Structure formats: C-alpha cells, structure tokens
Structure 1
Amino acid sequence: MISRIDLRGSTGDPRDALPRAEMDVADATERVRPIVEDVRHRGTEALIELTERFDGVRLTDVRVPKDVIEDALVDLDPAVRAALEESIRRARKVHAAQRRTDHTTQVVPGGTVTEKWMPVERVGLYVPGGRAVYPSSVIMNVVPAQEAGVSSLAVTSPPQRDFGGLPHPTILAACALLGVDEVYAVGGAQAVAMFAHGTEDCRRADMVTGPGNIWVAAAKRLLKGVIGIDAEAGPTEIAILADHTADPDYVAADLISQAEHDVVAASVLVTPDEALAEKVTERLAERVAATRHGERVREALSGPQSGIVLVDDLDHGLAVVDAYAAEHLEIMTADAPALADRVRNAGAIFVGDHSPVSLGDYAAGSNHVLPTGGCACHTGGLSVQTFLRGVHVVHYDRDALADVAHHVITLAEAEDLPAHGEAVAARMGHGAKRD
C-alpha cells in the first residue's frame, strides 16, 4: 500500500529522494487568469455566472444574509457548538499572547526609532468547502485576525448545492460564534479575485488568507501584489519521526488521519527501526479497511507523495525531516522533547505519544493554517503576526541629525545620489527650522 524508501547509508540531499505531492501552480495560474479578469471587469455578475459553472449553483446574491448566519447557530448541534467554543477559547488564549507591543529605541540623544505594530485594515478569509467541512478553519483564520486588531473581516466559502447554494451551515455557525456577519458564498479563484478587486457587494480587501485547492493557490500567486497573501497552500502533509519506542498503532492512525483529507495528501514516516516500519505497514492495512473514507485514504497512502523512509539513526532522521520541512511534524521517540528542540524546519511540531496532529487541527490552541510543500524552511504558519505590519517611526531633532549628517552625505556621494545628501545639508544651513 505505502512505498518504502531506504536512505540508509545515503549521503546525498534527502530532498532528491523524499516523496512530495506535485502541484503545478504555474500552469494553474494561466488557467485562472481569465477568471480573475472576468471578476475584475464584471464583478458580482461574473461571480454568479462562475459559481453556476463551477459549483452547479445559481445564486441571486453572493452575500449570505445575516439572519441565515444567526439561524445556523441556533440550529447547531449543542455538542458541536460546545466543541467550537472550546476551540475558540484555546485559540484566543494562544493567539492573544502573540500580540507584539510598540517599542521605542533611543539611538542617540534626540534621535529615536519606534517600531509600531499596525493591523491590516481589511482581510478576506478563505474557508475551504470541498471534500470536507472546515469550521475549524474559520476559527484558525478569524481568531488571529481579531487578536491582531483587524477592523474589517469578511469570510468566504464555496456554496453547497445540498444547502441551497449557501456555505455549509456549520461554517456559518462558526462565523456567528466569532461575531463575523460578512460572509460570501463564493469559492475558488473567483473568491480571491473578489477580495483583490472588489465587487458591487464586496469591498476590496488588503489581504487574503486561508488554505484552498490549487485554483485558490494559483489565484493568490497571480494576484500577489494586488492583494497581500499568507501563502500558497498546497496538499496537506504529515511527517512522523519515530523510533522503536513508538506505538505502531498511533503512527498508523496519524498517517491515515492526514491521508483522509485528500487523495494527494502526503503521509510520511521516517524511522531507523525497520521492525517499526513493518508493524506500521500491517496496522495501516487493518485501519484503512475499517475507516470511513478508505478509498480516499488508500489512494493517498499509495501515491508518490507518501512513504516510509528508513534512515541510519535518529540524527539522520532529524536531518531528513528538516530537509522535508513538513507542514505537520510528529516526534514519537524516546526523549521526544529533546529531539523536538533540535528541529529547524516544520510548520508545527507535535511532541510525544499524546500530541497528535488532530489535536492541533481542532483544540490544542495552535493554528492549523501552516506552510506546505517544503515552505516551512522559510515561512511560518498563520498567526497574529500575519495581520500586523511593523512600521518604523523616525524622530530626530536638529542636533541629532547634525551629529550624523556627514555620514549620510558621505554615503549619498558613494552611491552617486548627491540629492540625498543635499536634503540633509539643506537642514544644516542658516535659518534651518529647529525643534
């Protein structure tokens, strides 16, 4: 079912041998370009036509009425509501602690630089609605934006034929719990275009965040610069670094939980223990046969993006998972906390037998919107910082400027930008305005 990759004794770059989901965003970008241009020029009319074309739903209005959002919360299963409320509570606790404070540094007497953290004014939040329902993604997008102080939030999620062209009611209920009443029934590239260019119904946003399919990622790439983006999310992935102490049933369950997302989801086990690899393979066969989405899971586990990787030892395994830079990395080894401290590249790290990725998806308090496709080596997950901009406020009085003026003029001349120096020299002349 799942392939075996033997890197024992290998000295090459692990990235050349590790499994990875392929995603041709460049090709998809050209295919979504006409969609983006259509929304840009025709606005809501284009959204309605594109929604009928791609989602099989004919809308009369892309914005979800406020009373429909409120009714979704009233009708929500009490157990689901309680779970969402606990998820929100924990997410707020973690994300509130991320909020940075302004800081002023006195560089010299009379000269200060203050770093102010300013929230993005308006953000569009994308919540997927394909093979599964993701009210948890509402929480993971909205909570950090609210904690950052974003003043205008809009959520969009694909319309569902089974619900009269509205987003799934659980998604609407999650919006209601979070106090978000601007919600749109728009999915795919056209949703990103709606936020980037604005329409008659939706004011343009400064940033769009949230995971989505390849068309969403392609639209983000195409419109980056027109609108800020968090990342180009690719297929979801898990890597597990485990040794002989790991429970093979836990490992198999976690690999399957990630494969459940999509047929292109990646599930990778890295271990120096061949006996563990054998036991996990056996448990996978048993569990896949019993799981609800067995066909989807089986295709994901047998795909080229998944595999069991054999390594020489845990040090070698650590180098391999660092090279892989997984969206989710689980450490199930002896003294897992110490090994986790040595990890350099991962979207999120789950330590020990009782910290599965599923916990992080819903109720750990951490964020589950994370970098994929190896981007964790340079990009972090969604957080309060995603929605904040560090702005430097410079305040020098005349004496402080005079003290450094000759250096500024010298560097301006060295760069052949004499007017830069003259802008300083002008302030040093007779009659210059003083503080």
Structure 2
Amino acid sequence: MGLAAFDVVVVGAGMAGLTAARGLLERGLSVCVVEARERVGGRILSERRGDVVVEMGAEFVHGRPPELWALIEEAGLETYELDGAQVEADGEGGWRDESGEEDDRFAVLEELEGFAGPDCGFIEYADRIGVTGDERAGIVSFVEGFNAADARVASVMALGAQQAAEGAIEGDRMWHVQGGYARVPEYLAGRVTELGGVLRLGFAVDEVRWERGRAAVLGRGEEIRAERAVVTVPVGVLQAGTIRFVPEPQDRLELAGKLRMGQVCRFTMVFRERFWAERAPAMSFLFSFEETPSVWWTPYPDETAMLTGWVGGPRSDALAGLSAEVLGAKGCEVLGRAFGMDVRELLVSCAMHDWRGDAWTLGAYSYIAAGELDTPRRMAEPVEETLYFAGEHTDVTGHWGTVHAAMRSGLRVVEQIIAG
C-alpha cells in the first residue's frame, strides 16, 4: 500500500465521522475525511424554502445529551424547546385535546425499563402480557413510528434499554436548532479544517483495503493511505455491499447484517397561513391514528405555517417512492378530513428527501432486532487496531437512531485509537 499519508482516514462526514475527526486532530493525529456527498451532515439536511428552513432529515435535539449540547453551545447556536398542545383527530372533523390528560398509553414501554428477558419481538411481548384493542394499536403504532421499526422484529430488551437511556437525559423533551440543524455539522466541519484536517467532498469510496497497521480508501480513481480507517457509513450501506473491503472483516459484516435499518416517510408542507390556529392555536402534535400519515407536528412555539407528516416502520412502505407533489396532495386529503375543511388552496410547497432511495443512506436509522442487543457493542470493537466502525448503529448507550448516538460512537473511536 505504500507509505501512509495520514494517521487516520475517516469514511463519512456525518456526525460520527466529523466528531471522530475533530477528536483525533485535537489529540495530534493527522486526519483525512472523505464524503460521497457534496455536503457534510449525513442524515442531517436543512434546506431553505423562501423564508422557511425545512428539516429533511434529523430534526430534533432529543433531551439533554451533554456532548451534543456542549457542541451547540460552543458553536453559539440558538435553540428553542418544542411546546404546545397534543391533539387527536377522529377523521371526521372531531378533535380532542389530550395535553392535560394522564397518558397511560406508554405504560407498557415504561415497564420495560430494566427488562431482563428473555428477549423477543415487541408483538410477541404484547401478546404475552395481554395488550389488546386500542391500547395495542396505539402502542404498536408508537413503537413502529418512533423507532422506524417492524414491531414483530424490534427487540423488547433494546426498547427497555432505550427507555432507561432516554430517562437519564430527559429524552421526552425536544428542541429545534434555530436556522437549521445542519448548522451543527457545518460548524463541526469548520473545526476539522481549522485544526488541519483534510475534508474531501464528492469522494465516493468504492473500496477499503487494509492490513494490520495500514489502510487505504479508493474512489474516483484515487487512493488515500493511512495507518487506520474509520468507517461511519449507515448500516444500510454496509448491508448493501456498496463498499468493498479487502480483505473482508467477515465477522463485522455479519454483525452489520444482523442489525436493522428502519424506514420512514416524512414530508413537510408549508402553508399560506396557520389554518389550524382558530381551533388549536398552540397545536404542537396532531394524531390521527386511522390515517396515513397518522402523526403530524408543527414547529410551535415558532408560528411558521408548517406541518410535517411522519410514517415510520412497515406502514411507510405504502408511501415509498412517491414524489413530494403526490405526498403533498395526500397530506391535504388527510388534513382536510382532520380539520373538516379543504386546505389544498392554502398549500405553498411540500418538501421531502427519499432516504430509503438515497444510495448513501438506504434508510432512516437503525434499530435492534430481538436477540441482537449485544450486536452494536461487538460491531464497535476495533479490527486489528486498524479498522474501526462508528455511526449511530454502533452506539452502546441505548440511544440508537439519534444524533447524539452518532457523536458518542465518534468519541468512542477516538479513545480506541489513542489507546491502541
């Protein structure tokens, strides 16, 4: 492979890769980050539509994870906490404000905290404890929607670990980054280059070659050599075999195959006015469980006339491949039934990004299948102190599928390399 040009080459400029690169540079190592896209941020994608910033991917800061908040504060970014009313629509123009009600729909999940097994899929668990009727439909819808998961497959032990992890960081609270979430990875990329790191955008990696103490990434007819390689691409890309490994780290790729890449469809509709304000001026979330999408949210207390529709898990398959125009039309139908009015003339635009069809993602975010709770930890172990895997799917703290999970995996890689 020849002489190494860098101490470390990092594949992927999402939050895991940028966090790892910055940490390694601060420890005095030389780093090159390669990214297939012409931008940084991975599954964080903020786009300006006129005067409005629309989040196309990751949107919320979930809870108070210290590493993410430290970065936001360092960057001098402003945030605001989501607030407001949670409303349920019956599909016939009838509404119920659930904000002040004691919500016991999540009791089944809360009781999973500390669950010791035996592990099984969530549907099997619900059957085992006798959850039926509306309670069953509601909790299955939540598990699939929030986790982008198939409830038949999703690990009960992982859901329990997730409950505990969220409780430790006030995970039921959510914030927006003013001006767009993309400002976070953009700031981090700036720090990487300020520290002397090399950032190569538009560099799609075809192959990773490695042997103990040496690695090289190949793409665009170029080869970048280093002593170690950190691979941070999403698990869906690993499973697709988009990147060849020579030789194959067979056990790690087998572990990647045991993880699950969740699927979602999300789209954001911008309107001429907040047509819901007369009925629910402080509406934050709208639930319409008989519809698809069944979950909507506004940016309240920001009063931008915007609604985001969300479908996670198997139900999202029905919307796969649809254009923003078609999704906007469907959204108008669903919202029209919920509000008992025609909203089509009020629609300004509809925006979406097809993460399922995006070759550099192939899905939304990961979840853990029954029996595989230990797989992320094993995936996170170094390969001969030369090849390292990071990304939210390798998180070992119960926060899979989040920005702070990606950051934590990057920080973990830094410590592994320094210790190695």
| Greater strand share, structure number | 2
Structure number with larger C-alpha Rg: 1
Structure with the bigger RCO (C-alpha within 8 Å, sep 6+) is 2
TM-score with structure 1 setting the length: 0.28
Greater helix share, 1 or 2? Answer: 1
The alignment's TM-score, normalised by the length of structure 2, stands at 0.29
